[in-house]
Amino acid sequence: MVNSQDFKNSIPLSSISTPERGTKMSKLTSSSSELDLDRPNIEDYLPSDSIPQPHAKLRLRDLLDISPTLTEAAGAIVDDSFTRCFKSNPPEPWNWNIYLFPLWCLGVVVRYGILFPGRVLVLTLGWIIFLSCYIPVHLLLKGHDKLRKRLERALVELICSFFVASWTGVVKYHGPRPCARPKQVFVANHTSMIDFIVLEQMTAFAVIMQKHPGWVGLLQSTILDSLGCIWFNRSEAKDREIVARKLREHVEGADNNPLLIFPEGTCVNNQFTVMFKKGAFELGSTVCPIAIKYNKIFVDAFWNSKKQLMTSWAVVCDVWYLEPQNMKPGETPIEFAERVRDIISVRAGLKKVPWDGYLKYSRPSPKHRERKQQSFAESVLHRLEEK
C-alpha cells in the first residue's frame, strides 16, 4: 500500500497539471501581482551571493516544512492571549423563548423605568450634599490644613459611597481596613475606573492616574487634587522622572493619604493580569496588595464594555486587602512585582499572561518586524540549501 504522505511528497510541483490549470494560474498571476507591491522581498534580507539557483524540481514539502515559523504563526492565531486581555466577552443569550422573553421585557421596564430614575435621583442628591459641603470647607479652611484635609477626605468617601449606591453596588471587603502609614504603598489589579471609586469609599487614597480630558479631567484638577493625587501623561517622557520623584516624596510623608497604584498601567477585563510596572516596587516601601474581582452575572464592569452601570441590576464585587509584602534580600524590583502579581492573581482567580499592557497603545517596532522577516528568510534559505 502506498503512503499518501510519501506520494504527495514525491510529486514535483511542476508536474501538477489540470485542464483548468492555465486559466486559474493566469487569474492568480494577475491578482497576486497587485499584492506583490506590498509584500516583503526575502532577497532584500540576504547577501546577494548567498541566494542559490533554483532547483530543477521543487517539492511541496520543501515549501511547507518551515516548522518554527508556522508554529509561531499558528500559535498566535489560535491562542492570542494578548488581545483576549482587553476584550469584553458578551453574555450568552438566554431570553429567546416563549416563556422567558416576557420576563426579560419586564426586567427592562423595571431597570429603565424604575431603577434608573431612582439612581439618577440618588446621585444628584449626593452631588448636592457633597458640593454644598466641599466648597465651603475647601475655601474657608485655608489656614487649617489638617482639619481641611480630614474633612475633604471624609467628603470624598461620601460621594464615592453615593456613586456605589447609584449602581446598587454590593461590595464585600475582606481583611483589615487600610490606614495611613509612612513608607507604604497599595497596589491593585485594574479593570475599570470604578475600581478607584470602589476602593475610595472605604479609604481616601491618593492615586496615580493618567490625565483625562472632559469631566474626568475637571474632577482630577479640583476634587481629587486635594487628596494629593499624582497625574501623568503616557506621551510625555519627562513625566516619568517627575512622577518617580513625586512618588518617593509622597510615601515619605506621614500625614499624606495612603498611596494607591494600579501597576498594570491599563484596564484589563478582570480575567487576566498583565505585567506589573516596577515603579511601585522600587520605592523601598512596604507593598500592600489589593485583589478586586467582579461578578459578571449582572454587569461587566470592564472599562471597554458597552454595558451601562446605571441601568444594570447591580454591581457585585469582592475586595481583598492582602498581607503586606516587603522585598526579599537579593530580590530585584521586577521579581518583587511578579511575586505580588502572583498573590493578587491567585486570590482573585485571574490568569497571568506575560504581556506589557502598554502594547495596547503602541505598534510593534519596525526593527522587531525586520528581524522576524530576516529570520523567516534565513529559515527558507536553510531548507533549500539542504536539498
User: Per-residue pLDDT tens for 211-243?
Assistant: 777 777 777 777 777 787 887 776 655 667 777
If we measure between CA atoms, which residue out of 207, 184, 211 comes closest to residue 197?
Answer: 207
Give the percent of the chain with pLDDT over 90. 22
For residue 149, what pLDDT is reported? 85
- The terminus-to-terminus CA distance of the chain in angstroms comes to 27
User: Per-residue pLDDT tens for 316-355?
Assistant: 999 999 999 999 998 898 999 999 999 999 999 998 888 7
**Three-class secondary structure assignment of the chain:** CCCHHHHHHCCEHHHCCCCCHHHHHHHHHHHHHHHCCCCCCHHHHCCHHHCCCCCCCCEHHHHHCCHHHHHHHHHHHHCCHHHHCCCCCCCCCCCCCCCCHHHHHHHHHHHHHHHHHHHHHHHHHHHHHHHHHHHHHHHHCCCCHHHHHHHHHHHHHHHHHHHHHHCCEEEEEECCCCCCCCCEEEEECCCCCHHHHHHHCCCCCEEEEECCCHHHHHHHHCCHHHHCCEEECCCCCHHHHHHHHHHHHHHHCCCCCCEEECCCCCCCCCCEECCCCHHHHCCCCEEEEEEEEEECCCCCCCCCCCCCHHHCCCEEEEEEECCCECCCCCCCHHHHHHHHHHHHHHHHCCEECCCCHHHHHCCCCHHHHHHHHHHHHHHHHHHHHHC
Is 215 within 8 Å of 204 (Cβ atoms)?
no
For residue 355, what pLDDT is reported? 76
For residue 109, is pLDDT > 80?
yes
179 backbone dihedrals φ, ψ, rounded to 5° = -135, 160
CA atoms within 13 A on the CB side of 138: 17
CA distance 181 to 252: 9
User: Per-residue pLDDT tens for 33-66?
Assistant: 444 444 445 445 445 554 455 554 555 455 555 5
210 backbone dihedrals φ, ψ, rounded to 5° = -65, 140
Cα dihedral 274/327/184/275 (nearest 10): -10
pTM higher than the cut 0.85: no
State the average pLDDT for the chain.
Answer: 76
For residue 21, is pLDDT > 50?
no
For the segment 265-276, the average pLDDT, to the nearest whole number, is 86
CA distance 156 to 203: 9
More confident residue, 50 or 386: 386
Q: Which of 154-158, 255-259, 381-385 has the lowest mean pLDDT?
A: 381-385
Could you tell me the pLDDT band of residue 248, with boundaries at 50, 70 and 90?
A: confident
- Read off the amino acid at residue 42: I
For residue 86, what pLDDT is reported? 67
CA distance 5 to 37: 35
